[in-house]
Amino acid sequence: MRLTDKVAIITGGAAGIGRAYAEGFAREGARLIIADIDDVAAQKTAQSLTERGHQVMAVKTDVSREADTLEMAHLAVKMFGRIDILVNNAAMFIRNPAARAPVCEMELSEWEKVIAVNLTGVFLCCRAVLPYMIKQKSGKIINIASSLAFLGSANFAHYSASKGGVLTFTRALAREVGDFNINVNSLCPGYTLSMDLEDIPEDRRNIEISARIIKRPEYPEDLVGAAIFLASSDSDFMTGQAVVVDGGVFLH
């Protein structure tokens, strides 16, 4: 198991893609902190994994609130003694919907809300865990961006911009913390069916599939292998990079 005894924080880990990361990391032997704004769902996920023999703690966390992120890191160290991995997955998109609108009609409050969670939240979570990683001189940070950071999306400028910011922030942070043996990379999913298929209009699914080289829907499980790779020693000489897992929509 590639993550045996590693301590991983997964934000937005209660459901959807975040839960898939949690399940995969647990199978690889990691001890987990499920940090999610939905405390009920986080507790359920933690209980499910605990019942299968894994060490898991749920922490209610709003990543846009500095105090919450500091408490998240503090409780992780209090519970498990260290922090080895941070997966910055929490975002506004489907489970916490980001409204679609052209830029000329987009409310400032909507723009600020998405940036606060998707970009500032990544900054705050990184800042909260870095003192512990720097002290132990090791760590893996995986910032979840999106293929839309490269492609853009009409009527979704706030989301696209926030994920583009995550990419650049990742590169800047990687340069800052390399001397402490901390790897910082981005994982960029494509449009992923992280909710029931019947909730996604068939025409939308078909458009997404037709744009791919691999002609099928993308599921949360499709991202888990790449996340485990970035969290494990297999990626020790890799930092500041963006790994795109979208079935071949964006090629770079």
Positions annotated as catalytic residues are 159
Tell me how far apart the alpha carbons of residues 117 and 97 are, in angstroms, rounded to a whole number.
12
The string over 90-104, giving b where at least 16 C-beta atoms fall within 10 Å of a residue's C-beta and e elsewhere, is bbbbbbeebeeeeee
Strands 242-245, 31-36: pairing kind = unpaired
Kindly state the tokens that stand for 8: 């991983």
User: What size, in residues, is the chain?
Assistant: 252
End-to-end distance of the chain based on CA atoms, in angstroms?
31
Tell me how far apart the alpha carbons of residues 79 and 57 are, in angstroms, rounded to a whole number.
8
DSSP one-letter code for 36: E
Tell me how far apart the alpha carbons of residues 8 and 222 are, in angstroms, rounded to a whole number.
20
Kindly state the tokens that stand for 134: 């720097």
Instruction: Name residue 70's amino acid.
Output: L
Kindly state the tokens that stand for 49: 């994994």
